[in-house]
Amino acid sequence: MATLTYIEAISKGLWEEMERDPSVFLLGEDIGKFGGAFKVTKGFIQHFGEDRVIDTVLAETAILGAATGAAVVGMRPVAEMQFADFVTTGFSQLVNNTASIHYRWHVPCPMVVRLPSGAGIHGGPFHSRNPESWFFHQPGFKIVAPSFPYDAKGLIKAAVRDNNPVLYLEHKRLYRHIKGEVPDTDYIVEIGKGVVRREGTDISVITYGSTVHQALEAAEQLTHEGISIEVVDLLSLMPLDVELILNSARKTGKVLIAHEDNITGGIGGEISAIISEQAFEFLDAPIKRLGALDIPTPYSPPLEEFFLPNTKKMFAALKELAAY
């Protein structure tokens, strides 16, 4: 067992999978000699060589197209988008080709797309996207979003071993802010299963990624006011752990769905619909959502703080639900 940061856990998981399986290789911009924009792959090229750690041209379409082709012929590529925002230039490859290959050809497409996502780093509108809802709508993908180092390592290993294309959302704000105990032994975190981070009886917070930590902070603050908050960390967005979501909603009767992505068209709307359709009779209040404002991510730190969900907003939303 070792105490690792979120980013160290991702790096360790990748390293172990490359040691375990020679068909695993990495490709992306500046991931080799430079070690990646955030240093996730620092030292990889020296150990695994240029054939397995490939510095690519600045062309996301080429990266994703090459990864898809390699996956179809039996390799297990891990493609890094330097920032999740840049996946838009390779959108057609992913949505029109990668996602539908198994449906069209009945062959596996075992590839991972690493997406450094999220705001809170003052990156402005081109380096702060949370792109999950774009791909959530497209059949054929699995989508994961770890919030703690243990899950970051376990999910990257599970993603590499999966025979489907997996989009791996890694939140940049969490990279060096979050630490946790991570086993040295080989393990995976099952894709499609979430966890209850905190047991509660009054309100459920259904969330993932960065907002998990805000929910836990707000829940702790609300204990002093006699309000018991349950925090559900989805971990996997596609497939969703619907049973976990419904069990929590039925248990507490009040639900707040939180994510950093923009509120309109976000995954929270789909989760709300699932609860409304399958657990409506258990609800004691309207389902509430918390997300980013429907504007591009501001560069200015005060404006970015105003734009994003945070612990203070989470606390206020939960207080409102408690009083309903």
Each residue's pLDDT tens digit, 97-131 = 999 999 999 999 999 999 999 999 999 999 999 99
Q: Please report the pLDDT score of residue 216 as a whole number.
A: 98
Which segments of the chain have a pLDDT < 50? Answer: none
**Among all chains, which residue has been given the structure tokens 């930590």?**
213
Q: Give the number of other Cβ atoms within 10 Å of residue 38's Cβ.
A: 18
Q: Please report the pLDDT score of residue 3 as a whole number.
A: 97
Taking only the tens place, the pLDDT of each residue in 76-85 is 999 999 999 9
Q: Please report the pLDDT score of residue 10 as a whole number.
A: 98
Known catalytic residues are 127
Q: Please report the pLDDT score of residue 286 as a whole number.
A: 97
Q: Please report the pLDDT score of residue 95 as a whole number.
A: 96
What pTM was estimated for this model as a whole?
0.97
Among 22, 109, 43, residue whose Cα is nearest residue 73:
109
Q: Please report the pLDDT score of residue 42 as a whole number.
A: 96
Q: Which domains does the chain have, with CATH numbers?
A: 2-182 (3.40.50.970), 195-323 (3.40.50.920)
Percentage of the chain beyond pLDDT 90 is 100
User: At 116, is the secondary structure helix, strand, or coil?
Assistant: strand
Taking only the tens place, the pLDDT of each residue in 169-212 is 999 999 999 999 999 999 999 999 999 999 999 999 999 999 99
Distance CA 321, CA 260 (A): 19
